[in-house]
Structure 1
């Protein structure tokens, strides 16, 4: 942990990660093997961040990729394999939408990291990150789009696509503001916060889970 980040910020993010795990288990009903792999992945990422592995931002390829790329490869495998497609079709739509509510505390943590000068202002809701809108509107989508047929399929699809772009927007800003050979923005206050423990769980677990939830929901809606 960075001494410049108040301890309560780390505690809040750890609690946010635990809530995400709980929602993940509700939505995906993982087997014991999947849970062991998940906890091992979180433990590995926590260890690497704590040991300063991600602090070396000069190496090529960038070490930051290790936090996100493996999850993207796993997602691609699930969407392309026959067993993976069957797994996706059996997921409960409402549980998938509840996952997006974690974007509210995540945005609060990001703002706190900005106050501690660990990330640029652009990555917060005071800058160019509007991802909190997805978290705030997710309960409305659940109550009026899933439980009650007030919001139709096309509007649900539009919500998922728009919120997916909100997520990609902040992910791109986070990557481009990390110190290193590919940094193109926020040179005065680069993105250091997400390279620290426990915030490394944001790109390595929470972001892939939110992204996966959107993609599965879009798949469900297109198949209707």
Structure 2
């Protein structure tokens, strides 16, 4: 936990994480494959266990200690397992069946949680736990993906007004915005590869509950874009 941080910041972020979990559960529940729909509760339970594990690691100062250790522990125990899981889903037949059954309209709406994330990041900057460059006042424009997501979902899938090229372009642009903040966040961590923000490094994401951002929310959003791009390209 971060000392002297206003409790409402942690509370809002925790609620944002729970909202992400519930929205992802709903995505699976709306799968067009009955067998996958039946697995929704089991998958949600696995994700709850994952979140609990990440909380335990952060609360026991695993991520914010020995910062000279490379690669960072949060990468080894938090980020890489999530990325490996995504890769396995895309390269395996069962994984692709799961991916291709998910509804794109729900996946697109899930991106609205990025607005709440950006607000929390701004609060963390004001409390000197991340650098300004990680906010919408700096180099982070990820909030645009969150603000435009409802319009893309409604006019692209519900009304069918937007063509697939526009929806595909939106996904690639939003993926680029995500990559931008991830790169800046990584290079602002107080680790041997730090390149930015030496006066106010990114320490929040090494502490609970904010370590859920790189270990859960970002992988979920990344997975959603990759699923959307795959499905859209297959349709095309």
Q: TM above 0.5, one fold?
A: yes
Aligned residue among 50, 64, 82 for 2:74:
64
TM (norm. structure 2) is 0.93
* Structure 2 partner of 1:20: 20
Q: Map of 1:7-86 to 2, 5 A cutoff?
A: 7-29=7-29, 30-56=39-65, 57-65=67-75, 66-86=77-97
Give the whole-Å Cα distance in 2 for the aligned partners of 1:152 and 1:92: 17
Structure 2 contact 171–228 (Cα < 8 Å) conserved: yes
Give the whole-Å Cα distance in 2 for the aligned partners of 1:104 and 1:31: 26
Q: Does 1:211 align with 2:211?
A: no
Q: Does 1:90 align with 2:113?
A: no
Give the whole-Å Cα distance in 1 for the aligned partners of 2:154 and 2:110: 14
Structure 2: unaligned runs, 5 residues or longer:
30-38
* Structure 2 partner of 1:171: 182
Over the residues paired in the alignment, what is the CA RMSD in angstroms?
A: 1.0
Aligned residue among 165, 176, 193 for 1:154:
165
SS of the aligned residue for 1:53 comes to coil
Give the whole-Å Cα distance in 2 for the aligned partners of 1:31 and 1:145: 26
Q: Deviations over 1:103-123 (max 9, x none)?
A: 000000000000000001000
* Structure 1 partner of 2:112: 101
Structure 2 contact 189–201 (Cα < 8 Å) conserved: yes
Give the whole-Å Cα distance in 2 for the aligned partners of 1:131 and 1:194: 17
SS of the aligned residue for 1:117 comes to coil
Structure 1: unaligned runs, 5 residues or longer:
none
* Structure 2 partner of 1:117: 128
Structure 2 contact 25–41 (Cα < 8 Å) conserved: no
TM (norm. structure 1) is 0.97
Give the whole-Å Cα distance in 2 for the aligned partners of 1:223 and 1:214: 14
Answer with 121-130 or 144-153: which moved more: 144-153
* Aligned residues between the structures: 224
